[in-house]
């Protein structure tokens, strides 16, 4: 149990947060299926598709879009670590509604960064028909979406650590 403003934030609230985050992750994951469907249709319907700029250097494209993806992954780790830190949570412990909004918004930020990786994969595919690169980056996006959803025990532990550090 977590003390908040004289009341208690029970496990049921954390479970509800997790369910909501899972629903958002399913929604975010559906974009991976949609983009994957477009890539598959393009590959099998337009068998001669070489991308919109096929003569452009593939290594430069890879460097740009993989670089963007790595930057998104780094930002993902930094943002989630900072937002779940005792310092990030500590100031919100006195306002239960604010804490709930904060705990609900943190995975949304992580999923948005995961979608940035997916969009990079999609652009890489359409610019130069790099199917394998799309699959690699879509997989990374999937992993990031899954990592965005915190567990109930994780949330309880983080809020309790923040409370103890005050």
Taking residues 85-92, report their average pLDDT.
90
**pLDDT given for residue 53 in this prediction:** 86
3-state secondary structure of 40: helix
Distance CA 145, CA 77 (A): 12
* β-pair type (7-9, 2-4): antiparallel
Tell whether the model's pLDDT for residue 122 goes beyond 90. yes
> What does pLDDT average to over the chain?
90
CB environment 63-81: b (16+ within 10 A), e (fewer): eebbebbeebbeebeebbe
Ramachandran region, residue 6 (left: φ > 0; alpha: ψ -120 to 50; beta: rest): left
Confidence of residue 9 (pLDDT cuts 50, 70, 90): low
């Amino acid at each position: 149990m977590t003390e908040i403003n004289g009341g208690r934030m029970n496990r049921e609230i954390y479970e509800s947060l997790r369910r909501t985050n899972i629903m958002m992750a399913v929604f975010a994951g559906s974009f991976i299926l949609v983009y994957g469907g477009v890539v598959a249709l393009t590959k099998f319907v337009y068998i001669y598709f070489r991308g919109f700029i096929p003569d452009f250097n593939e290594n430069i494209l890879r460097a740009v879009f993989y670089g963007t993806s790595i930057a998104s992954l780094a930002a993902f780790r930094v943002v989630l670590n900072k937002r779940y830190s005792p310092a990030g949570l500590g100031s919100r412990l006195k306002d239960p509604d604010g804490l709930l909004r904060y705990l609900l918004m943190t995975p949304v930020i992580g999923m948005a960064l995961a979608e940035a990786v997916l969009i990079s994969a999609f652009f890489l595919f359409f610019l130069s028909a790099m199917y394998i690169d799309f699959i690699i980056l879509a997989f990374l996006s999937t992993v990031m979406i899954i990592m965005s959803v915190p567990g109930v025990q994780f949330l309880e532990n983080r809020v309790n650590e923040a409370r103890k550090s005050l």
